[in-house]
Structure 1
Amino acid sequence: MPSPATHLVESYVIDVRRATATYYLPDGESIELPAHRVEAPIAPVFGTARMQAAIREAKNHVPGYSYKGFRDRAVVAGCAGYIVSFSGRRALYVGRTAETHVEHFPNQ
């Protein structure tokens, strides 16, 4: 069953470099909010394997998992931002030079 937030938010974009989160509503409206700033520099090369490892930890709720930890590992992997589409059931992770990794949501 989808969470209540998925009925209110169609998708969102996290811009790690600007430390912003933009949420898009089904009616076309959007809201931009400040996001937590990451102190570590974004790795210059996008490491797909490292990004996938961070995603696996999140999916498996490994002991000690936190969003902050995920975000820090994503930055080390070279992730400069990501787009999550609830209707498209996927997340697109983007590196500094536009390398990408698409992660599809698991089947329910």
Structure 2
Amino acid sequence: MDVAVIEECALASHEERISFGEVVERLIGAGVERYHVDLVRGESTYFMPDGQSHRVTYRPVDTRPADSFSAESVLAAVRSIQAGRTKYLTFCRQIMEAGCVGYLVSMQGRRAVYCGRSGETYVEPFPANR
């Protein structure tokens, strides 16, 4: 497990100096299979195929997730960051305002799954060019 790559990806995301595509490419290169972001707790857990994991903690975003989940609002936030109109921390605030409490990124499954308080989900496949 390349902990240095994992921690650099987490830091670079929160400093808004790396895109989602770059994060995915670097994590794949480091052998990461998937990762889970807990927006409320301010932590991400990265999982390797052999069962190892590494958790990175950071200061949580200063937004409380909405009580109800809006897949349409999550999609709007995803499209905005994909188009370069927003950066990572704004994206996190937007999806929390849409009721998202966390998300799972599966490199193997080539998708991100955004989750609400009551188990609602929105699944976003990776863009075709990834």
Q: Output the TM-score relative to the length of structure 2.
A: 0.76
Secondary structure in 2 matching 1:69? helix
Residues 65 and 100 in structure 2, CA contact (< 8 A), matched pair in contact too = yes
- Greater relative contact order, per chain length (Cα 8 Å cut-off, separation 6+): 1
What is the count of residue pairs matched by the alignment? 106
* Unmatched 5+ stretches in structure 2: 1-23
* Unmatched 5+ stretches in structure 1: none
Secondary structure in 2 matching 1:21? strand
Secondary structure in 1 matching 2:56? strand
Residues 101 and 115 in structure 2, CA contact (< 8 A), matched pair in contact too = yes
Structure-2 separation of matches of 1:4 and 1:50:
28
* 1:7 maps to amino acid: G
Equivalent runs, 1:71-90 vs 2, <5 Å: 71-90=92-111
> Deviation of residue 61 (structure 1)?
1.3
Aligned to 1:68: 89
Q: Output the TM-score relative to the length of structure 1.
A: 0.90
Higher strand fraction (1 or 2) = 1
- After TM superposition, what 4+ stretches of structure 1 lie above 4 angstroms from structure 2? none
Structure-1 separation of matches of 2:27 and 2:104:
16
Higher helix fraction (1 or 2) = 2
